[in-house]
Amino acid sequence: MLLKMNLVDAVIEYLSSRNEFDEAFKMAKQNAKHKISDVHLKYAYFLEDEKRYKEAEENFIKAAKPNEAINMYEHLGDFHSALSVARSSEPSAVPTILMN
């Protein structure tokens, strides 16, 4: 019914806001591939709040937001991890991290 009403994006947003990421990923993969990166981003923020930083990093990268992972690590004072992410995913950020 939701597909017919073209409300899949809203359902994915709702599931993500309720931290039901498995369902949100499933719905996005089946019906709205353009929302997959949004779900990865929201999941990454959730994981960061849960102090699961490595998993958060992976999801930031899957969401095409490596700068978010770099900022997370810099905020934590983990410049080694920030540098690692920058070297693999965002080389333009390396000089800034080295200065910090």
Tell me the per-residue pLDDT of 53-86, one tens digit each, with 9 for 90 and over: 999 999 999 999 999 999 999 999 999 999 999 9
> Is 13 in the same domain as 55?
yes
CA-wise closest residue to 88 among 71, 70, 74, 63: 70
pTM as predicted: 0.90
Range of the domain at 99: 65-100
Question: How many separate helices (H) and strands (E) can be counted in the chain?
Answer: 7, 0
Is the domain of 6 the same as that of 25?
yes
Helix (H, G, I), strand (E, B) or coil at 52: coil
Identify which of 86, 46, 37, 83 has the alpha carbon closest to the alpha carbon of residue 64.
37
Whether the Cβ atoms of residue 59 and residue 38 lie closer than 8 Å to each other: no
pLDDT tens-digit map of 1-53? 666 677 888 889 999 999 999 999 999 999 889 999 999 999 999 999 999 99
Residues 75 and 98 in one domain: yes
Please check whether residues 73 and 49 belong to one and the same domain.
no
Domain count, the chain: 2
